[in-house]
Structure 1
């Protein structure tokens, strides 16, 4: 066996060990990031769900479809759907458009959401 081949074999073996180590470290870091983001997602998703349910409750109370709410707010129907399901978080501007269309002030709307959050926390 030539000296170069032996050297190549040793370097290849070290490279494989390094790959395994780096892969393990990468996945450890990746799992930590996923767990951390899931924790944040769980905290924020409850708020998003309650905001969405309140939008939906008020829309249905008016007898409106998602399509009609989308039309009067200038938003897309699928975005309204995502908001109502708690999959998206509305910006202040979007929430302002929605509350104006639903004939409610933002403070009244958010007060209702805050009360729902408090009730939900008491259940936990």
Structure 2
């Protein structure tokens, strides 16, 4: 896996968390409190700057009242059969 693909998944995951958080009308601070994380961690995560552990993904999914698979599928974290071609 290339470094660009790794960054892409972090950015896609961050956007998924942000979209779900906003659907629930939660602030970053509220989500952080419910997930047992720091607000700045949520901010950095939503910007795609962090690579969360599986334990953190589980905490976030629980705080967002959604299953991990639903978070990935419903918010387009996973990209199926995507091929990158250099121009």
**What TM-score, normalized by structure 2, do the two folds share?**
0.84
Higher helix share: 1
Root-mean-square deviation (CA), in Å? Answer: 2.1
* Pair 1:84 & 2:46 matched: yes
Per the TM alignment, residue 111 of structure 1 is displaced from its structure 2 partner at its CA by 2.2
Runs of 4+ displaced beyond 6 Å: none
Unmatched 5+ stretches in structure 2:
none
Number of residue pairs the alignment of both structures matches: 83
1:75 maps to 2:37:
yes
Equivalent position SS for 1:57: helix
Instruction: Identify unmatched segments of 5+ residues in structure 1.
Output: 1-38
2:60 equivalent in structure 1: 98
Bigger-Rg structure (1/2): 1
User: Equivalences for 1:15-94 in 2 at 5 Å?
Assistant: 40-94=2-56
- TM-score with structure 1 setting the length: 0.60
**Counterpart-to-counterpart distance in 2, 1:86 and 1:109:** 16
1:123 to 1:60, Cα distance in 2 relative to 1, 3 A: farther
Aligned to 1:4: none
Q: Relative contact order (alpha carbons < 8 A, sep ≥ 6): 1 or 2 greater?
A: 2
